[in-house]
Amino acid sequence: MSTIEDEFREAGVMRGGVLLLRPNDAIRMVQRPREQRILVLGLDGFVVTDSTTQPILEESIDLSNLINRPNTTCWEIAEQFLNDRKSSNLFFEVVIDE
């Protein structure tokens, strides 16, 4: 069975078994779970070079606490977070409840 992550593998890079995407591709990945009403639990930012993968805690967001807040959607917050970082050189892991 194909997963949402599988749809985006070619757009990103795999590091340590984790798919990392540029902001525009991460936004597209956030939109797919939204269509299927699958929750986005968080985004983790990374600086990626040819030889290193450095997590950046300040560029990460935990959305798992929004599960029980019906007036706030994880998808909108995730998209805004990524839109604010479109011009960055960061890569993002999109953590979804799949």
- 44 and 92 in contact (C-beta within 8 Å)? yes
pLDDT in tens, 77-92: 999 999 999 999 999 9
Of 80, 95, 7, the C-alpha closest to 44 is 95
How many structural domains is the chain composed of? Answer: 1
Domain enclosing residue 56, as ranges: 4-96
pLDDT at 1: 45
Here the CATH number for the domain that contains residue 48 is: 3.30.190.30
Average pLDDT of the residues of the chain: 91
Query: For 1, which DSSP code?
Result: -
pLDDT at 81: 97
- 92 and 26 in contact (C-beta within 8 Å)? yes
Distance CA 13, CA 19 (A): 6
pTM for the structure as a whole: 0.90
CA angle at 30 for the pair 22 and 36, rounded to the nearest 5°: 150
